Structure 1
Amino acid sequence: MVMRGSSRFMFPFCSGKKHQYVGADEFGYMLADILKQNDVDNSHLRFHPHARTALAFVTLKKNSEREFMLSCKPSADKLLCEDEIEARLIKKTSIFHYGSISLIEEPFRSAHLVAIDFAEKYGCVLSYDPILRPSLRPSSETALKGIMSVCDQSDITKISHEEVAFLIGGDDPYDNDVEFKGWVAGVKDEAVDTTGASFSFAGGILNILTS
């Protein structure tokens, strides 16, 4: 889990006060150093003695969309247990941002659910990113069940048109008759590299909401 800036945000994977595992390996130590160099409190970042830091390889297709390949199983981040969640950290936040990837495997699933419950208890605004990633899911059915299991708890959901199409059974996400409505026109531009774009967008919106 991560808390950002002046304890206003808590994110599963982002800048802020890091409350999560990485491996006791070169990549884990490098991530810890990067956080420190950017004035992020990493005092709650833990180094797992046996599991390695997860690696995500991102490649760009011809249309500038991304493909993901993840390495390391089980990775250190998935081994955070529910009794390691510190409620006092969540209590200090205004917005708790969470995703569904953390709900795929135990013990991180239970830890994540406990953190969400604490966030609700302390009156945080809950922001949710479904993050489909079919390659990480055992099946489409389990993906749908996992994504929807915590959707009702969110106050804000950041969702892509691919995820909307998946959740409504493959229908056109731009159809006005579907359950998801309220489109806002964006600015058209030529995509070069969309890596991290959705996180930046969500972070900007959440920052505006708490300004």
Structure 2
Amino acid sequence: MSKLYAIGELLIDFTPTKQNAFLTAVEQFTKNAGGAPANVAAVCAKLGQQAALITQVGRDAFGDFLIETLKKVNVDTNYIVQTVEGETSLAFVSLTNDGDRDFLFYRRHAADLLYDKEQLPPNLLTSNDILHFCSVNLVESPMKHAHMALIEQAHQAGSLVSFDPNVRLPLWNDEKACRQTILEFLPKAHLVKLSEEELLFLTAIEDENSAVQSLFQGQVQVLIITRGAEGASLYTNELHVKVPADNVHAIDTTGAGDAFIGAVLTILLSKQITAINLIDFCKQQTIPLLTFANRYAGASTEKHGAIASYLAKHELSFKNDIIF
């Protein structure tokens, strides 16, 4: 069976119990499991696919909580290491009435950034698997080099590689370093998901089609551009399809982008799509693929938190039998 392997940060999201308030005014927070790669793995697992996370957390209460949370949603945690050399990362997330967020991170001694490529399991990936990664753990660190090694392993094994930069500028020394690093890693992926803002940030090209075409380099076959409440577009070198999103009452957009790409990867896993047949599948199933991902991400915004807001397979009211 195909399996998703996500690599990157696993952290605690502290969200205010009082919405639409600045962090300086918040007195109480709710603790949730977070981290984009972890969220994506959780989506795939909750939707019935095999998924594992490769990372490192502190040997502390927060690390224990995160591992137990992922176990409860059937994510394979065998590749999560605990260490006393660093601490589990924390993120404080301020919410506004329209569901937007403002982040404050505590990651000076982050355990995940200390994960070394020598800790990677050898020969882990196969041609049936998908490797997914983001950009938060691509800052200069041992973990960045672990990403490079695992991506190389994926290419050698023939695995499909997915990249969602999920840009978080406060975690970088400067914007230029963030942009350059993402543009270095982007050609290593077969499938790339970007928001409209991230596309402009990376390319500085106002025209979307021109911006997208400039990113078809290296291994890139498919680019998906998400537009929040406006839906999403999928591009190949020969195809452009835009699918609108349903209207939802968003109360918390935390993890919505992860819900979207997790839903896409779930479909690819369920259909055993590889780097070889990715474009053909997208040409045939773009509309139902994006429709499902839009609806799944939209549903996640109607609840608080990330993993806790993701629907399990049996909870879906909008399952599309054509692709799932």
* Alignment TM-score, normalising by the size of structure 1: 0.87
The match for 1:8 is 3
- Deviation readout 1:126-171 (Å, 9 max, x if unpaired): 11111211111111211110010011111110100110110122x4
Q: 1:184 aligns with which of 242, 266, 276?
A: 242
* 1:46 counterpart SS class: strand
2:167 aligned counterpart, secondary structure:
coil
Q: Structure 1: which 4+ aligned runs deviate by more than 6 Å?
A: none
Q: Does 2:202 match 1:167? A: yes
Counterparts of 1:51-66 in structure 2 under 5 Å? 51-66=86-101
State how far apart, in whole Å, the 1-side matches of 2:68 and 2:268 are.
30
Q: Which amino acid aligns with 1:187?
A: A
Contact 2:123 2:153 in 1 (8 A): no
Q: Report the counterpart of residue 3 of structure 1 in structure 2.
A: none
Q: 2:260 aligns with which of 201, 204, 208?
A: 201
Question: Could you tell which deviates more after superposition, 195-204 or 35-44?
Answer: 35-44
Match of 2:13 in 1: none
Q: Which amino acid aligns with 1:8?
A: K
Q: Compared with structure 1, are the counterparts of its residues 49 and 176 closer, same or farther at alpha carbon in structure 2 (3 Å cutoff)?
A: closer
State the SS of the aligned residue for 2:124.
Answer: helix
**Secondary structure of 1:202's aligned partner:** helix
The alignment covers a number of residue pairs equal to 203
Report the 3-state secondary structure (helix = DSSP H, G, I; strand = E; otherwise coil) of the residue aligned with 1:89: coil
Distance 2:127 2:162 in 1: 16
Unpaired stretches in structure 2, ≥5 consecutive residues: 8-36, 42-50, 213-234, 272-324
Q: 1:68 to 1:118 in 2, by over 3 A?
A: same
Counterpart of 1:159 in 2: which secondary structure? Answer: strand
8 Å Cα contact 1:87-1:115 kept in structure 2? no
Structure with the larger RCO, 1 or 2 (CA within 8 Å, 6+ apart): 2
Q: Which amino acid aligns with 1:193?
A: D
Is the CA contact (8 Å cut-off) linking 1:8 and 1:92 kept in structure 2? Answer: no
Cα pair 1:9 1:93 within 8 Å, conserved: no
User: In 2, are the aligned partners of 1:91 and 1:118 still within 8 Å (CA)?
Assistant: no
Indicate conservation of the 8 Å contact 2:113/2:137, yes or no. yes
Check the 8 A contact 2:114/2:141 in 1, yes or no: yes
- Map 1:74-93 onto structure 2 (within 5 A): 74-91=109-126
Q: For residue 184 of structure 1, what is the amino acid of its counterpart?
A: K
Q: Equivalents in 2 of 1:201, 1:91: separation in Å?
A: 24
Letter in 2 for 1:76: A
With 175-184 and 81-90 compared, the bigger mean Cα shift is at: 175-184
Deviation, structure 1 residue 76 = 0.4
Seen in structure 2, the aligned counterparts of structure 1 residues 90 and 22 have a Cα distance that, compared at 3 Å, is same
Deviation at residue 69 of structure 1 after TM alignment: 1.3
SS at match of 1:22: strand
Unaligned runs of 5+ in 1: 1-5
Contact 1:168 1:178 in 2 (8 A): no
Shift of 1:188: 4.4
The normalised TM-score by structure 2 is 0.58
CA distance in structure 2 between the partners assigned to 1:126 and 1:166 by the alignment: 22
Q: Which of 59-68 and 107-116 deviates more?
A: 59-68
